[in-house]
Homo-oligomer: A and B are copies of this chain.
Amino acid sequence: MRRTRFDDAECPIARVTDLFGEWWTPLVLRDAMYGITKFEDFQHELGVSRAILTARLSRLVDEGYMDKVPYQDRPVRHEYVLTDKGRAMWDVLAVMWRFGEEHLWEDGEQPLVELAFRDTKERVRPVVVDEATGRPVDLAAIRIRSRTRTRR
């Protein structure tokens, strides 16, 4: 019995979960965001099994999150670089970061690392708002509806 797939669900959250719910995948993407590109570097950084890393990178390439580009011949060596689609995942990781630092440390404790803007050196605190209005995306103020109009 194969693990249930969610990649053709009607719910966007479920489709993302199909990728993101694979063990190690969010951390591979995270390290890619930090600038890691080589197989060995991912492997050392994460401590993941080489077999799993191969499978995860292959899927990320197949689904357009990363490109596998040769950077030398003899022997052929590749690096894994994020595509625009891959880089768009940063939003998800940033919000996970915020949730984690707010809720997953003991009271009075904080993670040893934080996000900061390069230019102003101010700490970054990611929040989610509506693009057009800037309103917070509060669960109580939102509903899910079926998209019947604007077929476009």
Whether, in the assembled complex, A13 has its beta carbon less than 8 Å from a beta carbon of chain B, the answer is yes
| A26 touching B17, Cβ below 8 Å | yes
Residue A22, interface by CB 8 Å: yes
A-B contact pairs, 12 of them (CB 8 A): A4-B23, A10-B111, A11-B111, A12-B96, A12-B98, A114-B147, A118-B143, A119-B141, A126-B128, A126-B130, A126-B131, A126-B137
Nearest-CB residue, chain B, relative to A139: B90
Number of interface residues of A (CB under 8 A): 78
Using A30-B13, A134-B134 as known contacts, say yes or no to A103 and B88 having CB atoms under 8 A apart.
Answer: yes
A69 interfacial by beta-carbon distance below 8 Å: no
> A residues engaging B (CB < 8 A)?
3-4, 6-7, 10-17, 20-27, 30, 33-34, 47-48, 85, 87-104, 110-119, 122, 124-135, 137-139, 141-147, 152
